[in-house]
Structure 1
């Protein structure tokens, strides 16, 4: 009952991200591995964005969405990975109170926008395969812009509210976050107050920005698969499926790990599992995004060759 509490702004020294501190002998190896991953994310996604801008054959709605996804992936990993790399290098997991708040806000902002963007990309594939004759009419430039800008407008104020709600809580004396970045569940564990309304807010956001978009993706792909199965030729079915299989792989990686991470019950025994799940949707998916799209997409490979030959 006499546990010291800290209110908003009183934590001068902030929090300590424990991350992988229980494997201190592997700090150097972790730094090298995550540095390579970050460079792959930056290079791969920047290359995808560049190709889809420079090559006129890729100026279609699908590649417009892909370009925005690549930009998001760079932003998303840049919220967590640089701080992790400094922590591994300096063996220091300290993060300031305001730094933690900023990291949480941008993490949930970019993550929520990405969920909605993946749903928009699924709708684009649905229209392309199920209603190809009206594709250019339906997927107009105006609609594509609204599908990209809309999520930012919808998500930004909501996540400001959630971030303020979390950091307005009184925190206990312990500043140890059992994670490698500031996230809502581990922060709520340090609170010395009833977090019921924080949990309500968290699950509402999960419903709106993860479960609902994922449901739309599932519905889109059910309709897509039905349409593909009706194509008479095997070659036609393979070609139709190849245009959306890359997106489906990214969706399953991102939504799958994020949903399990946020909806499962947290416990001391599951702390390591939570951290590894978070690695999948914050680092692994952004790393594989350019690989999946470039290696499995013939148009992107051709465009890359054209750019390299010009150089």
Structure 2
């Protein structure tokens, strides 16, 4: 595997920025074979730390970026606010790819304006900075929130073609970024994949505590079809995109195949708000109906961490 550097980031007020001549000269330098230095965002978040660990384990040289001041052990680190367009542009210079996980995972702690800037403005700055410095391949964190209340969907499983009905500004901002990614690919010959994340399990005591709580109470799972994914498996999906030769903009559901419950899927659906929904295909006894089939078909990805194994680690 090629040695690579990974930069992970987070978000200040948007600053008007005109690309420097050196940035313009770099445009177009990245192909798959050149994937040596990668920018990823949100290094100190639960998912970001998992991504860093996987990349370090695979021999990548990680340059991490986050809003918080503390460095991440022996990993090269920069404190950057993704809402600062000029700062993002400077940080990305010289990199070959981006993994963008630098935003809050929900809007419940923020005002509507703060949430929009945290997700949509920061995401725009990431896409624009990548273009400015010649980065063509980007993987970023979209969300299951784009689908809204899954109990309102008439057919299952939930796929990338299911209707979008975001319940708030967080999900709506993710929908906006998915559209923006499509246009950046059309305008600038970029390759951008948004991963519609379900519940993410972190490799930590807190992550295990959350998994124990979710798996022990079926009523807590209807909002995600009892789906989940380990942060380490999110990392391998992002890398699969960056290392692939797929072009244009894509969105992918990402989750493990099974539900995080000892209760069979059919019973979960019957007792937690999905009774009477049309299920368009046969499914396994414990198979989640939040489908990652497209991700598997396009990138050959497969989740490696089952919730029972996570609790046993």
Say which structure is richer in strand. Answer: 2
Say which structure is richer in helix. Answer: 1
Same fold (TM over 0.5): no
Structure 2 length-normalised TM: 0.24
Structure 1 length-normalised TM: 0.24
Larger Rg: 1
